[in-house]
Every structure is written in structure tokens, then in C-alpha cells.
Amino acid sequence: MSEIRSAALIVNAKSRKGQKLFRRACKRLEVLPFPVDAHAVDDPDKLEQTIDAALAKKPDLVILGGGDGTVSGLVDRLVGEDVILGVLPLGTANSFARTLGLPLDIDGAIDVLANGVPRRIDLGMIDNDYFANCAAMGLSPQIAETVPHNLKKFMGRIGYLGWAGLQYLKFRPFILTVDDGVEEKRMRVVEVRISNGPYHGGTWLVDEAHVDSGQIVVQAVTGRYRRTLVKNWFASFFGLDARHQDTITFTGKDLKISTRPSLPISIDGEVLAHTPVRARIAAGAIRVMAPRDPDTPHG
């Protein structure tokens, strides 16, 4: 670890949980053999300027604390920088952390920062936007794009689930076209996952996706009825072999993705694009601090 002489910690502390975990993380980070410049950011709109200010001080390690959306939203800022990414998994799904084999508790994650090894990994790209883990088209982005502002805040989880149920009843399968530059494939689907890692929503979904494969993976859940999606989600959540029954997988370095009709795309949980798009791989784009033991189990 002689390579690291200084670090910056940036935590998305919008929630009360985030603020509490920030204080706990700062206390635990005192064990690291290098100074850590810590920032708790209450306003997510200020995360980018905070990381830019931190990078201006030339730290060797930038530690991002938050969920998959936080990591994916800030990872663009690290491409081309001589810096190692560290991850404190403070989100709900923590798919990226699971893919890296990181412990999901603060103490375990900080132990990796202290004793792990830098590992060079790929990033996915939707058009010119880098992402860490997975993008998706289908019901989840439809819910995220249409949910009324503050519904969850005022009506809680029940209100959000009610809205999700309404969107499910309105949801329709759609036409997906994948073009790898040689051949164009068209099919009717209920969900599409564009993956740089196997986890999506905290669940292992895409067997073929790895963060150092040099390939982007597009997994389509085929079907003419929306109940196929429920069946696939159920099988995936419980790790059943049936999760492979209705899926088709495409791999490549650069794939053109279009749908009929045009649909929103969630990138690690945030709706940031609409079809058509290019899905690409940025091979070896960044270095991350990963467990020293390559046999560390996922999730």
C-alpha cells in the first residue's frame, strides 16, 4: 500500500442514514496509514463539484460512499485521472460492490481500503456516459421516470409500491433491435439489461458479464406477455435455473440498441437516456481497490 499517500472521501449524505454512516466511516478511517480528506455532501447536485475540488488536490485514492447511482454518476470524473477508486457501499442494492467482491459492511469495506490491491476494470458506456454496473430498459425505468415527485416521501413505501403496481398494469412488451455492425437482430422483449457486471438491483442476473472482460453484455428477457418478466424476476431472485429460459445474450465492444417505441434507460438506477443509444465498453478505464484474495465470494 506504499502507493497510497493521501485519500479523499466523498459521501452522498442526503439521507439521515447517510449522515450517520458518514460519521461512523470517518471514525473507522482513522485506522488507515494515510490522511483522508472527508466530505459529506447533503445536496446531490453538489457531488460533482465536490469530487472535482477533491481531485484538484491530487489524492492517490478517491473513496465514494453511497449506492450504485452515486458511484456511476461520479465515475466519469475519474476516467483519465491517475487515481484509484475506493467504494464504501452505503446503498440498497450495492451491485457494483458485490461485483467487486467487496464486503457490504463499513468495517469490511474499509479493511479492503487498508489491505486490498488496485485492480484495473472496464466501464460500460451509454453513448458518451460512463457507468459502473448496469443499465436497463423496461418496467423499472418506466416507474422511475413517471413516479410523482415526493410520492415516496409523503406516502412511504406503500405509495411507491402502489405506483409500481399501476405501471405494471400499463406496461407492454416492446420491440428490441441489436446491431453489432455485422448483423441486426430484432425481437419482442419485456426487459433489457446492458451489463458491465453480473449484478442488477443487488441480484445476480447476467452470468456472462465481468468487469474485466473487455466486452459489454446485452441480456434481453424475451416474451409477448408482461407475466414473463415476473417469472424471470422470481427465478433470478431465488437463483433458479429457470432464469435462463427466456433470455438471449449479445456481447461485443460496440452495439447499437434501439426499441419501438423509444424508451427510457436507467443507468445504475437513474434515468439518464432514451433509446436509441450505443452501448460500448471502455476497457481498463479505471483502477479500483479490490480484495487481495481473488477467491473472495460475491455478495
Which pTM value belongs to this model?
0.89
User: Do 118 and 261 belong to one domain?
Assistant: no
Question: What value does the mean pLDDT take over residues 118-131?
Answer: 96
Q: Copy the grid coordinates of residue 85.
A: 477508486
CA–CA separation, 212 and 148 (whole Å): 38
More confident residue, 156 or 217: 217
Residue-level pLDDT at 263: 96
* Bridge pairing between strands 117-126 and 247-252: unpaired
Burial class (CB in 10 A: 0-12, 13-18, 19+), 177: middle
User: Do 98 and 194 belong to one domain?
Assistant: no
How far from 113 is each of 1, 70, 289, CA to CA, in Å?
9, 18, 6
Residue-level pLDDT at 146: 82
Residue-level pLDDT at 298: 42
- Domain total of the chain: 2
Kindly provide the b/e burial profile for residues 202-215, where b requires at least 16 CB atoms within 10 angstroms of the residue's own CB: bbbbbeebbbebeb
Residue-level pLDDT at 79: 96
Q: Is residue 79 part of a domain?
A: yes
Residue 299 has pLDDT above 50, yes or no: no
Helix or strand (DSSP H, E) at 63: strand 61-66
Tens digits of per-residue pLDDT, 47-78? 999 999 999 999 999 999 998 989 999 999 99
Q: Which of 14-23, 76-85, 150-159 has the lowest mean pLDDT?
A: 150-159
Last residue of a domain, which of 122, 152, 182?
122
In the chain, the amino acid numbered 227 is R
Which residues span the domain enclosing 165?
Answer: 131-284
Residue % of the chain over a pLDDT of 90: 67
Residue-level pLDDT at 262: 97
Question: What value does the mean pLDDT take over residues 203-228?
Answer: 95
Cβ atoms of 72 and 132 closer than 8 Å: yes
Q: Is residue 170 part of a domain?
A: yes
Residue-level pLDDT at 253: 97
Residue 1 has pLDDT above 60, yes or no: no
User: Do 189 and 222 belong to one domain?
Assistant: yes
Tens digits of per-residue pLDDT, 237-262? 898 988 899 999 999 999 999 999 99
How far from 277 is each of 18, 211, 274, CA to CA, in Å?
33, 21, 7
Written as one string, the DSSP assignment of 241-285 is GGGGTTEEEEEESEEEEEEES--EEEETTEEEEESSEEEEEEEEE
More confident residue, 155 or 22: 22
User: Do 186 and 271 belong to one domain?
Assistant: yes
Cβ atoms of 289 and 61 closer than 8 Å: yes
Residue-level pLDDT at 201: 86
User: Do 141 and 258 belong to one domain?
Assistant: yes
Tens digits of per-residue pLDDT, 154-198? 666 677 778 888 888 999 999 999 999 999 999 999 999 999 999
User: Do 147 and 75 belong to one domain?
Assistant: no
User: Do 107 and 136 belong to one domain?
Assistant: no
Residue-level pLDDT at 159: 74
Q: What is the CATH number of the domain that holds 69?
A: 3.40.50.10330
Q: Copy the grid coordinates of residue 114.
A: 487498508
Last residue of a domain, which of 122, 139, 157?
122
User: Do 136 and 114 belong to one domain?
Assistant: no
Sign of CA dihedral 51, 54, 59, 62: negative
Which segments of the chain does DSSP mark as H helices, in order?
16-29, 47-55, 68-74, 95-100, 106-115, 139-146, 151-170, 227-237
More confident residue, 136 or 296: 136
Q: What is the CATH number of the domain that holds 149?
A: 2.60.200.40
